[in-house]
Amino acid sequence: MVHGIVPPYLLARIAELDDARFAHAARSARRTLLDVDPLRAARLSFSLDEDNNLVVEIGDGPNRTVSDAENSETLPGTTVRSEGDDATGDEAVDEAYDGLGATFALFSEVYGRNSIDGAGLPLDATVHYGVDYDNAFWNGDRMVFGDGDGEIFRRFTASLTVIGHELAHGVTQYTAELVYEGQSGALNESLSDVFGALVEQYSLEQTAAEASWLIGAGLFTDEVEGTALRSMKAPGTAYDDDVLGADPQPAHFDDFVETDDDNGGVHINSGIPNRAFYLVAESLGGNAWERAGQIWYDTLELGLKPRSTFAEFAVATVTAAAARYGDASDEVEAVRAGWAGVGVAVEAAV
């Protein structure tokens, strides 16, 4: 229990202020109200009831903190922007903050999930990690972004699909716990690509037909012959460069790559389930985060074996589609056809 000298009704009144002169005070009051439970955040809405009494309504909302590693590799770094703060003017800081919010919005508003763990976990990120660091990653607790080398890669916060992808690893961590190697590892990567793409599409209000289905678009500099790290629509076509070589992702199970590298090809073979999801979304049309995304999210929620194969995951998606939409639904047919399109059989499904 927190016992403060300023009563909560007074803080709530200040938080309601809509006056430019007191904008900072209003933000500070909202943060103070949220501080009663630092492990959760809330969107506060204020209104007056019929007796002119202030009504404070609390709903799930993001609790974001962005830190600056200042080109060190020490985490978390110095806090530079917290929930409710104004933009800093540092592109990486502000892109990370906005990307965390966009990812939270998809899972909260579409799937009813309160943050990546489902229980309001704060969303933390560190930017300017290392010197010319060419990656972004989820370390089990926070997002970490490098600035890129400036020759091949630009800053990694510039891609919303990258931010959504990495945070989706956290969702998988708290649900399916897919082992990060072989087919289960490729499914882990694919799920992050799926929800990374959906974060961007939801944020931009793009239909499946309007979306690019690219993961990491804009990360390459102009020196690279390529559009993105991966293409869900057409795996194997994202880049073809003299320095980087050709995109190695297969689009069909017949071309599954057997390798000891990359934890058994988790970033390579993810192209197969990526393409399957795209085919499902294309077939169903409209907004991919609705029916296709809902089926994939339900599959996570229903549970998967840690070492699920592509075929087992395919069966699980058909089962999830049937549970939500009915055995003879268009959704079930679209999911079956999507997996058939990439050579993964689902005869054992419902």
The structural domains of the chain, with segments of one domain joined by +, span 8-59, 64-158, 200-340
* CATH number for the domain whose boundaries are 200-340: 1.10.390.10
What number of other Cβ atoms are within 10 A of residue 332's Cβ?
24
Choosing from 83, 95, 166, 200, the catalytic residue is 166
Long-range CB contacts (within 8 A, 24+) of 277-281: 277/190, 277/194, 277/232, 277/338, 278/213, 278/232, 278/233, 278/338, 279/337, 279/338, 279/341, 279/342, 280/334, 280/335, 280/337, 280/338, 281/208
Over 80: is that where the pLDDT of 29 sits?
Answer: no
Which tokens belong to 219? 């990360």
Choosing from 83, 267, 282, 331, the catalytic residue is 267
* CATH number for the domain whose boundaries are 64-158: 3.10.170.10
List the one residue out of 197, 170, 217, 214 whose CA is nearest residue 287.
Answer: 197
Which residue shows structure tokens 């077939």? 283
What integer pLDDT is reported at residue 47 of this predicted model? 56
What integer pLDDT is reported at residue 35 of this predicted model? 47
Residue 78 pLDDT level (bands cut at 50, 70, 90): very high
Long-range CB contacts (within 8 A, 24+) of 227-230: 230/193, 230/267, 230/270, 230/271, 230/274
138 vs 46, more confident: 138
- Active-site residue 312, yes or no? no
Residue 61 pLDDT level (bands cut at 50, 70, 90): confident
Residue 271 pLDDT level (bands cut at 50, 70, 90): very high
Residue 1 pLDDT level (bands cut at 50, 70, 90): very low
pTM above 0.85, yes or no: no
- Does residue 300 sit in helix, strand or coil? helix
Cis preceding-peptide flag for 76 (omega within 30 of 0) = yes
What integer pLDDT is reported at residue 6 of this predicted model? 34
Residue 27 pLDDT level (bands cut at 50, 70, 90): low
- Active-site residue 210, yes or no? no
